[in-house]
Chain A
């Protein structure tokens, strides 16, 4: 008989002496967490997303300029890189940016920016600049970074009004990243309550709710958005507008979740252990809270996570079309409005950069959702 070369000369494996782990009954959430940790892509996405939300939280501090500041001297300026080595090849320990000067393209006579190697503005951390309210509470002047006056730093270039795109993406993330959360939160609650009523009590109420959901879902989304945003009064404070838009999203978003919840309620309410609880005299509320909800909460969390990306895209699309957030408030969709013109995209491609932020966020949410779904699935190894 042929022996496998792998085992030739090898000592027999040592018997397993380590005692098996104590049999501990982990809760369902703990098991999900342990499985989730093993999902590399989801874990990395989690870190990236955490970073994005940290940036959004401290946006005013991180952005060198605020939303209102513009400079007509620097319209459509390209992104400028931080440099350590200058034009002569000398190394500087302190990073710097060159100033910008305008030249005309000899062929097209178009105005364009070139680096002015004569002027160097060194890069500094924790610089006093425009005043803002840290976390919306504490008045502060310090920004994370800036360059020496009178220099300007445009890490991702500027837009058609000479506003720093980096600052605007960072500040816009506050709205773009929070609307989906609040929107999904509201539709989660609506979906849970309405879907729960529909599934648990059944009968004519169920039929009525299901028909209403069908009607809402059969509306074409775009005209519905237009109609709803036409109902928003034009000159209102940013906060109010924000609320309106969240409500529009929640209004459409809850139907999906309500269906999921209804289906789960129907399948679980006829389980023997639920009937047993009813026979034992347990009240409706207690049955729902103790027997039904735990049965599909994990599933619901996954469904919710996977619903967030579509809401981010929805907000972006709506703002892109000018139906959602309107200036002076800024979201990624508002920033992309400039990319509606083909010459903008052709000549100043950095104006598409907010798209990168959208894609990054949507991807991370999708990966996290996938990871959660796999982790919550007890049959998946």
Chain B
């Protein structure tokens, strides 16, 4: 019954890094995203988790074309069933679809222009994408501000007058005003304190039910991810190493890296004895990645094969993908689902 809304196919992003020493040496590309592929179903929430610097944010920005990907495609299935490659659209072509795909940024302090008042900030995407009269704009902004729990009387103020949680509501209102079908939430709640996090998460969930929005939820906070997502993709050094439904991934991780992440989830149940897996070594440098499986220098289960061969992302269980040579053989520990449930209300 659910159709795909977005297909990401072999998405690559590399940055040219100039070396200071060699003047005439060609700049070396650093691969931040390596052959990222996944499918996003309409109305679902896909979380992308991973440690800092693994490319989560870059992936999000590539999808919404905040930065341009090096290669690959993002096929967007529009409402009228037309499939377009979002990355290949030119400036005119993309205009029709910008309104469908919006983004909420990590930092509500830097993502709102300090020189525009809140009304103008929220109205900006609306004015850019639709031809509306002043009254219509005002009606829409007021409506969305009420939905997101902003005081309508304060709309003429500037962002600096608001707290972090209010600012993130402004950012959400701004993302919602064009009635997008897909929102990329880049660490949308990471900058907020826990009580506000819960409010915002509930707000996002409510809005999802109301408007059938699809979320790509980028986060490093596994408790929130477990609470909000239908499926989870784990990223490590620019690759997806595991992709599965939330229960399956948290319950039965199939990749050693996921297991290590899971062991870091706080357990509210004191009875539950867990062993914290501390990863040894540093995060590999993307400019000079290790051979074979990128995770092998830090993996407890590595063999000679891991050093030589790059594992493919393959289906290891029903709708459970993992990029590990020994996914089926390893018995990895997950998180008991109930105990890690985030107490939202």
A276-B105, A280-B98 known; A291 vs B113 contact (CB < 8 Å): yes
How far does the Cβ of B170 sit from chain A's closest Cβ, in whole Å? 11
Closest residue on chain A to residue B159 by CB atoms:
A273
A25-B158, A25-B161, A271-B110 known; A277 vs B115 contact (CB < 8 Å): no
A124 partner residues in chain B, CB cutoff 8 A: none
List the one stretch of B61-69, B194-202, B207-215, B240-248 in contact with chain A: B61-69
Bound complex: CA A278 to CA B107 (Å)? 17
- Residues A290 and B116 in contact, CB atoms below 8 Å apart: yes
- Residues B66 and A282 in contact, CB atoms below 8 Å apart: no
Query: DSSP class of B's interface residues: helix, strand, loop or mixed?
Result: loop
- Residues B112 and A279 in contact, CB atoms below 8 Å apart: no
Bound complex: CA A273 to CA B66 (Å)? 11
A273 partner residues in chain B, CB cutoff 8 A: 110-114
The reply to whether the CB of B339 lies closer than 8 angstroms to some CB of chain A is no
- Residues B110 and A283 in contact, CB atoms below 8 Å apart: no
Residue from B95, B106, B125, B178 whose CB has the most chain A CB atoms within 10 Å: B125
How far does the Cβ of B101 sit from chain A's closest Cβ, in whole Å? 8
The reply to whether the CB of A295 lies closer than 8 angstroms to some CB of chain B is yes
B115 partner residues in chain A, CB cutoff 8 A: 28, 291, 294-295
A286 partner residues in chain B, CB cutoff 8 A: 128
B64 partner residues in chain A, CB cutoff 8 A: 279
- Residues A275 and B95 in contact, CB atoms below 8 Å apart: no
Report A338-362 residues with CB < 8 Å from chain B CB.
Answer: none
The reply to whether the CB of A118 lies closer than 8 angstroms to some CB of chain B is no
Bound complex: CA A271 to CA B161 (Å)? 20
- Residues B66 and A275 in contact, CB atoms below 8 Å apart: yes
Bound complex: CA A279 to CA B125 (Å)? 9
- Residues A280 and B124 in contact, CB atoms below 8 Å apart: yes
- Residues B105 and A272 in contact, CB atoms below 8 Å apart: yes
- Residues A281 and B107 in contact, CB atoms below 8 Å apart: no
Count of chain A residues with a beta carbon within 8 Å of a chain B beta carbon:
19
The reply to whether the CB of B102 lies closer than 8 angstroms to some CB of chain A is yes
Bound complex: CA A286 to CA B94 (Å)? 17
Contact of A278 among B66, B113, B161 (CB under 8 A): B66
Closest residue on chain B to residue A271 by CB atoms:
B110
How far does the Cβ of A298 sit from chain B's closest Cβ, in whole Å? 11
- Residues A272 and B98 in contact, CB atoms below 8 Å apart: no
Bound complex: CA A281 to CA B98 (Å)? 6
Count of chain B residues with a beta carbon within 8 Å of a chain A beta carbon:
31
Bound complex: CA A283 to CA B129 (Å)? 10
- Residues B129 and A281 in contact, CB atoms below 8 Å apart: yes
Closest residue on chain B to residue A282 by CB atoms:
B128
Residue from B65, B102, B103, B124 whose CB has the most chain A CB atoms within 10 Å: B124
Report A229-281 residues with CB < 8 Å from chain B CB.
Answer: 271-273, 275-281
Contact of B66 among A28, A279, A290, A291 (CB under 8 A): A279
Bound complex: CA A281 to CA B61 (Å)? 14
The reply to whether the CB of B99 lies closer than 8 angstroms to some CB of chain A is yes
A28-B115, A281-B98 known; A276 vs B103 contact (CB < 8 Å): yes
Bound complex: CA A25 to CA B161 (Å)? 9
How far does the Cβ of B102 sit from chain A's closest Cβ, in whole Å? 7
A275 partner residues in chain B, CB cutoff 8 A: 61, 66, 105
B161 partner residues in chain A, CB cutoff 8 A: 25
How far does the Cβ of A355 sit from chain B's closest Cβ, in whole Å? 43
Report A18-76 residues with CB < 8 Å from chain B CB.
Answer: 25, 28
Report B108-131 residues with CB < 8 Å from chain A CB.
Answer: 110-116, 124-125, 128-129
How far does the Cβ of A123 sit from chain B's closest Cβ, in whole Å? 56
Closest residue on chain A to residue B115 by CB atoms:
A294
Residue from A25, A272, A281, A291 whose CB has the most chain B CB atoms within 10 Å: A281
11 cross-chain CB contacts under 8 A: A25-B157, A25-B158, A271-B110, A272-B106, A276-B174, A277-B124, A279-B64, A279-B101, A280-B98, A281-B128, A282-B125
9 smallest A-B Cβ distances: which pairs?
A281-B98, A280-B125, A272-B111, A272-B110, A273-B113, A282-B128, A281-B128, A294-B115, A275-B66
Given contacts A271-B110, A280-B129, 4 further A-B contacts (CB under 8 A): A272-B105, A272-B106, A280-B178, A281-B94
